[in-house]
Amino acid sequence: MTTHVTLEDALSNVDLLEELPLPDQQPCIEPPPSSIMYQANFDTNFEDRNAFVTGIARYIEQATVHSSMLADRRLANHINHFCWLQ
């Protein structure tokens, strides 16, 4: 059997829980509310452009190395498969 709880009853239960003393004397660790100011910068002139270019270059180099390794493995697998079929 389910009981229906009204919104007012639920909110009053929450208020009662907030007033409940903590038996182990633990402090409240919830931070005070604060606002965050965010300003989007759509300027494409990167201040750290060299680091960005270096990171992309390393990523492209690693991708190239991995793709060539995969191509070598695929070629070896194709050769093994072809020799096995004959």
Q: Where are the domains of the chain?
A: 49-86
Give the single-character DSSP code of 24: T
For residue 57, is pLDDT > 70? yes
17 close to 9: Cβ distance less than 8 angstroms:
no
pLDDT at 7: 92
Residue 47 pLDDT grade (very low, low, confident, very high; cuts 50, 70, 90): low
Q: Which of 18-22, 44-48, 65-69 has the lowest mean pLDDT?
A: 44-48
Asked whether the predicted pLDDT for residue 61 surpasses 70, the reply is yes
End-to-end CA distance of the chain: 73
* pTM: predicted TM-score of the whole model, two decimal places: 0.31
